[in-house]
Amino acid sequence: MLKTLIIQGMKFMNQVFPKNVKLLVFLVLTLLLACGITRASDGKCSDSASSCTKPSKPASVSTGAKEEKVVDKNISEFQSKLLDSARVVAQAIPNKPFIKDRSKAQQKIVETYIELGQPVRAVAAADKISNWRRGYCYADIACYLVENGYTLKTAEKGLKAAEQIASMDHSRKWRSDVVKSRIAQAYILANNEEKANSFKEGLSDHEKAKLSSAQDDFERQVKYLNSSIATDNFDLMKSCLFQFVGLYKSNYEDSKRRVEIENHIRAGWNRMPASIRFDILIAMADCALENSDKTKALSLVDESKELLSGFKWSPDHIIPLMSRQANYRFRASDVKGAKQDADQMLSLYENERDEITIIYRVESILPLAEAYAAFGDARKALVVYKHALKVCVDNPNPKTCSEDFTAICCSLAKSDIQQNSQLWSQIDQIKRGLLKSW
């Protein structure tokens, strides 16, 4: 194609341009054509089972007479630098053979951008993902847009891109189902039941169980969830229990329904492991806090702590669970108890660190750093973050180290701790080392 265009350009030059400028024009024409064709081919991306054309960004879209432009909220320079570093390191992980790990790390960055109100940057980060998770991220961004007052027409640009990716062969049906389920959720949030239902068709039962809307009949939802929990399908049971938590949240102000829903949850979680029951209790506490019911929230947090005390846990499991509990305890106004629990976990990590496999150390202590940040205790939060960064220095595996580094940067950005020159110097040094390791 390039050869044909250049020949046609030469014929045109012979007719139009003087002899002394033909060479210059020829060189300019060749350069422009090469750049144009290179850019046209940039839309290709690989997947574990297929390649796909990169959909256009859902950053802004014409809404007729007036264009609605998506904008990012303001974040600090330090937060921006942290996430830029995370993106560079995650993108440096080779797609082959690490596409799954690379894409998970990149998805974490997209989710952090969304949490910080950065949909435009989230799109740019999602564009770099090379497998089905890119479609999920586009749908996730669309959900954010709808929830934050943007029109469905604006969000649909990303939803169409997500649909295109979901329609591909990703070697496992569940991957497409996860994307379609998130697309359906965006349409539910936009009160477009017809479109939502079109994406529900053919989904696995546990993905369908995640989807409900305010228009659904309450009694019918409860009946469906209870009958699904009665099955032996673990994923379905888990999805239904968390769907009950969603009902708990949407019906919180109706005390009669709230008690009924809580009873259904407690009756249905008996076959769930303690970690899942803990997650449910914390999610319910979050619902209570959103409704300014700190008394109920603290009661649920107390129950979650008591649940954990009934089992023997390894340090890499108990530290993140107790740290999350401490975070919610602080929010429920038990400040003293929250700080005591967090300090106990910090001591446990410092004493038992060598007993924790190195690839699990960072994920075990980041919730502790986030808890201290929530307390407003930046000094102790930085102590924990420095412990986490030391793991990156000690870990000889560049893949797991890159994943840990990405997680640390995202956590720091969400915690919004003020820039510390010594901390940033350490982060930058680790980043440079990781980029050289591939």
Residue 349 has pLDDT above 50, yes or no: yes
Domain boundaries, the chain: 43-61+99-205, 217-311, 313-438
Say if residue 23 is exposed, middle or buried (CB neighbours under 10 Å; 0-12, 13-18, 19+): exposed
Q: What is the DSSP letter of 46?
A: E
pLDDT of residue 13: 43
How open is the CA angle 21-27-33, to the nearest 5 degrees?
130
Higher pLDDT, 95 or 211: 95
pLDDT of residue 52: 53
**CATH class of the domain defined by 43-61+99-205:** mainly alpha
pLDDT of residue 6: 43
Instruction: Find the mean pLDDT for residues 230-257.
Output: 95
Residue 346 has pLDDT above 90, yes or no: yes
Instruction: Find the mean pLDDT for residues 364-389.
Output: 97
pLDDT of residue 54: 54
Average pLDDT value for the chain: 87
Higher pLDDT, 53 or 208: 208
CB atoms < 10 A from the CB of 325, how many? 27
pLDDT of residue 242: 96
Q: Which two tokens mark 121?
A: 């940057």
Q: Which two tokens mark 17?
A: 């341009």
Tens digit of each residue's pLDDT (9 = 90 or more) over 147-171: 999 999 999 999 999 999 999 988 8
Question: Taking a C-beta distance cutoff of 8 angstroms, is the pair 423, 383 a contact?
Answer: no
Question: Taking a C-beta distance cutoff of 8 angstroms, is the pair 338, 326 a contact?
Answer: yes
Instruction: Find the mean pLDDT for residues 114-123.
Output: 98
Tens digit of each residue's pLDDT (9 = 90 or more) over 261-294: 999 999 999 999 999 999 999 999 999 999 999 9
Q: What percentage of the chain reaches a pLDDT higher than 90?
A: 78
Q: Which two tokens mark 312?
A: 């023997």
Would you say the C-alpha torsion 272, 278, 283, 289 has a positive or negative sign?
positive
Tens digit of each residue's pLDDT (9 = 90 or more) over 14-68: 444 444 444 444 443 343 334 432 333 334 444 543 445 555 445 443 333 345 8
Residue 11 has pLDDT above 50, yes or no: no
Instruction: Classify residue 356 as left (phi > 0), alpha (psi -120 to 50) or beta.
Output: beta
Question: Taking a C-beta distance cutoff of 8 angstroms, is the pair 170, 48 a contact?
Answer: yes
pLDDT of residue 66: 46
Lowest mean pLDDT, pick from 221-235, 251-265, 401-415: 221-235
